[in-house]
Amino acid sequence: MSENNAPHNDETALSAALHPGRQPALTGCPWHDVNEMLQAAGLRPTRQRMALGWLLFGKGARHLTAEMLYEEATLAKVPVSLATVYNTLNQLTDAGLLRQVSVDGTKTYFDTNVTTHHHYYLENSHELVDIPDPHLALSKMPDVPDGYEIARIDMVVRLRKKR
């Protein structure tokens, strides 16, 4: 099973995730597209956001932890602290450009694919992988307490190699 590496330039999915207003004019150039995505989401395209966005969105749909992105940034000679990486990931999530997926109480992944989908978590390799079935559905939902509504459902199916 491998992660979906299709380019993440689907304007329809991205537009649905962004706040109403100016829609990004995506060209397929990662640097230009990150700039457009940030501006359309109301975020200033600072050097650090641009560099981290380029690392995040320039390689197709991905699942990364803050530590993984920090390591990539360090290897790419992007001068950022781990705190800046966390802050940027949270800002991008709040702006609708990333989706946060919690696997344990201690491990959080950031998904560049913000469309509705679920995940496999490969316990042996600590990898998060999209479930390819778009028709996957829960058959029974719990009753929601008065005054609340379901914001999103995240299903993570944990897998491990057979012994």
Q: Mean pLDDT, the chain, as a whole number?
A: 83
Q: Between 160 and 139, name the one with better pLDDT.
A: 160
* pLDDT at res. 151: 86
What's the burial of 2, exposed, middle or buried (CB within 10 Å: 0-12/13-18/19+)?
Answer: exposed
Q: In the chain, pLDDT over 90 holds for what percent of residues?
A: 48
pTM here is: 0.77
Q: In the chain, pLDDT over 70 holds for what percent of residues?
A: 82
* pLDDT at res. 28: 67
Q: Between 136 and 38, name the one with better pLDDT.
A: 38
Residues 65/71, Cβ–Cβ less than 8 Å: no
